[in-house]
Structure 1
Amino acid sequence: MRNVTNLALTGSLAAAMLIATTTAHADREGWPSNFTVGTASQGGTFYVYGSGWANLIADELGDISGAGEVTGGPTQNLALVHSGELAFGLTTMGPATDAVNGESPLAPGVPMDNVCALFPMYETPFSITALSNSGITSISDIPDGARIGFGPAASTSDVYFPAFLEELGVNFDRRNGGWNDLAGQLQDGLLDVIAFAAGIPIPAVSQLEVQTNVNIVEFTEEEQATIIENFPVSEFWIPASTYTTLEEDARAVSMWNFAISRCDLPEDFVYEVTRITMENNDKMRNIHRSAETSIPENIVHNTVLPFHPGAARWYQENGYEIDEALIK
């Protein structure tokens, strides 16, 4: 009798597991088998953050693979997600505003309406780095015609930092490239300055500190006020603990970043991606410490992109309000 009972129990458990498995697969109908996250150049925070986030999502979902992809950064990520070439991407709110309004330099006149917001990432500070032996300790020290690296073409840094410096009266020779490449050029004397827009600590700057002596050049109070008045940025202080070079907090300006997705991705899939990200901030901080601000309270910093309905559902279920007009 005991054997019959055991067999019955075993059969019941097997049936229950089969039903659960079938239900799980049914719930994932239409989900992609893999996904790619558009990041930026190697040596920048987007690449580290995006690649790590892709791995986290793939690990948590179990049977879906994910990876980060090197791109030209926020502006290109918006275009690649909108066109459907990428499922996810990372962007900055300045380029996102341009894309929604049809003012992207990559697609002039084309409003990008297949781009939805997922979650807040962190603020991107705009900062300047020079070699210590250059004597450049302030923006006013930058020599006329200085060779300045602004990151990949059409990146957030490349779109905004030249305009910042022009507004401040700096005359320069504009150079582009990946952050690691530009850092190498700075160290070799081929550049005078690198104008970074990336989450901190910037891997390329941290590596430079190990290899040589550098100056982190901050904005003066007046320069900061001028840039805030004329551009979509906010006041920011780079904590002294960010780099060994800094002895005190450095004045800067910043712009918020958000993760984005195609708006036509399955709602349940995006719900799960959002849930995993928002409920595992400890794992996100292990990817990059800038993720300490990748928390649901910061969704208020997006007033431009519509939220994907899957993401919006998670926020609303967990007590975070989103204007219905801002849901796709």
Structure 2
Amino acid sequence: MKNVALTAVAVALTSTVAVADGHVDRTGWPESFTVGTASQGGTYFAYGSGWANLVAEELGLSGGGEVTGGPMQNMALVHTGDAQFGMTTMGPAAESLAGTNPIAPGLQMTGACAMFPMYQTPFSVTALASSGITSIADIPAGAKIGFGPAGSTSDTYFPRMMETLGVDFERRNGGWTDLGSQLQDGLLDVIAFAAGVPVPAVSQLEVQTDVNIIEFTEAEQAAILEAFPVSEFNIAASTYTTLEADARSVSMWNFAIANCDLPESFVETVVDVVMSDNPRMVNVHSAARSTVPENYDKNRVLMWHPGAAKWFKENAGANIPDDMIHGM
């Protein structure tokens, strides 16, 4: 632990100097940038807009978060260069590289490169306490379930998970804030979230009404782990006032992505801003507790942007092979 702490201090000191250095080569840097996030009311929007604002302020550029359909659309936007940056989960990233992204079937989106680790996305289910739904098995046949924006990580994987668990449902899509309102108004039976916790829409619901945050049973978790590219995860009891104990779940890692053709010095400096001061990132969103250098190795899918790879090699001792770095 002492070594980890010393490493964190060294990274912070090294990075602060790098950002403050007025001699950074800004050749080819854009005058403004956009970060593809997701719908308002979700973690992606809060987290992505937050780090976009930090970068814009530190580097004296115009930039911010943009509402999108989430990870699948972000892969497409960053690949084409319509957005300089974005955020994605490893599942949608793998599908996009394979050419099975539903936004552009057959197009291998190799123009999007890994930039830095964000956090794990837990999959969780929420229902009104008045519904009597306290488990996956309680969800009635034909239940109306909100799965988030079309093409999002939640919409891509949660319906398949529900089918794997034998749930019969009607699929609904929309932004998280809108789906939360529909649940409260009785228009939905369940909302199935894949988002960093705490999810703003769930936190808002807790203030306004009584909800049940539903965990997977051990058998349900095992079935999902076997069928999907996810890991075990527990949603800490402290995450929501509703929870009295940790809730069993599964999760998928998220990474920030950059268009692979952006200047190396630009991406390196952006990574420096985000990774150099974790407490500041945690102020943006508590999920950023996992936005730390040692989690670079959670990317086993995307090619690294050379600027990002340079930062992690020089500041975090990262072992990134050349064949995982774009253009090498």
Task: Name the structure 2 match of 1:190.
Answer: 187
Listed as ranges, the matches of 1:1-150 within 5 Å are 24=22, 27-62=25-60, 64-150=61-147
Per-residue Cα deviation, 1:103-151 (whole angstroms, up to 9, x for no partner): 1111111111100000000000000000000000000000000000000
Offset, 1:24:
4.8
* 1:155-179 CA-partner distances (Å, limit 9, x unpaired): 1000000000001100000000000
TM-score by length of 1: 0.92
Partners of 1:315 and 1:26 in 2: CA distance: 17
2: CA distance between counterparts of 1:24 and 1:156?
39
Residue 13 of structure 2 is matched in structure 1 by none
Q: Give the CA RMSD over aligned residues.
A: 1.1
8 Å contact from structure 2 (residues 93, 302) kept in 1: yes
Matched pairs, number: 305
In 1, Cα distance between equivalents of 2:24 and 2:53: 24
AA of the residue aligned to 2:63: G
Give the letter aligned to residue 130 of structure 1: A
The match for 2:272 is 275
- Runs (4 or more) in structure 1 with deviation over 3 Å come to 23-26
Q: Which residue identity is paired with 2:29?
A: W
Aligned to 1:9: none
Counterpart check, 1:285 vs 2:282: yes
CA distance in 2, matches of 1:164, 1:142: 14
Shift of 1:189: 0.3
Alpha-carbon separation, structure 1, partners of 2:292 and 2:100: 29
Q: Using the alignment, how far apart are the partners of 2:262 and 2:216 within structure 1?
A: 42
1:320 aligns with 2:318: yes
Residue 226 of structure 1: aligned partner: 223
**AA aligned opposite 2:150:** A
TM-score (norm 2): 0.92
Question: Does the 8 Å CA contact 2:38/2:67 hold for their aligned counterparts?
Answer: yes
Match of 1:181 among 178, 181, 194: 178
Distance in 2 (alpha carbons) for counterparts of 1:212 and 1:113: 44
Deviations 1:260-293 (A, max 9, x none): 0100000000010011111111111100010010
1-side partners of 2:311 and 2:59: how far apart?
17
1:145-224 to 2 correspondences below 5 Å: 145-224=142-221
Shift of residue 210, structure 1, vs aligned partner: 0.1
- Measured in 1, the distance between the counterparts of 2:241 and 2:174 equals 25
- Checking the alignment, whether the CA contact within 8 Å between 2:24 and 2:265 is kept in structure 1 is no
- The alpha-carbon deviation at position 25 of structure 1 amounts to 7.8
What letter corresponds to residue 60 of structure 1 in structure 2?
E
- Tell me how far 1:192 sits from its aligned partner: 0.2
Encode CA deviations 1:233-276: one digit per residue, 9 max, x unaligned.
Answer: 01000000000000000000000000001000000000100111
Q: What SS is found at the alignment partner of 1:27?
A: coil
Query: Among 234, 241, 265, which residue is 2:262 paired with?
Result: 265
- Name structure 1 gaps, 5 residues minimum: 1-22
Which shifted more, 25-34 or 274-283?
A: 25-34
Q: Which amino acid aligns with 2:188?
A: L
Overall identity of the aligned pairs, in %? 67
Partner of 2:4: none
**Equivalent residue for 2:16?**
none
Residue 302 (structure 1) aligns with: 299
Q: Which has the larger radius of gyration?
A: 1
Q: Is the 8 A contact 2:124 2:194 kept in 1?
A: yes
Report deviation, 1:209: 0.1
Give the match's secondary structure for 1:158: helix
Q: Provide the rounded CA distance (Å) in 2 between the counterparts of 1:199 and 1:98.
A: 21
Structure 1 residue 26 displacement after superposition: 8.1
Could you tell me how far 1:30 is from its partner in structure 2?
0.9
Matched AA of 2:256: A
Shift in Å at residue 46 of structure 1?
A: 0.2
Residue ranges of structure 2 left out of the alignment (5+ in a row): 1-20
Tell me: CA distance 1:273–1:186, structure 2 relative to 1, closer, same or farther (3 Å): same
Deviation at 1:324, TM superposition (A): 1.5
| Post-superposition offset of 1:41 | 0.3
Shift of 1:75: 0.4
2:78 maps to a residue whose letter is: V
Q: Secondary structure at the match of 1:245?
A: coil
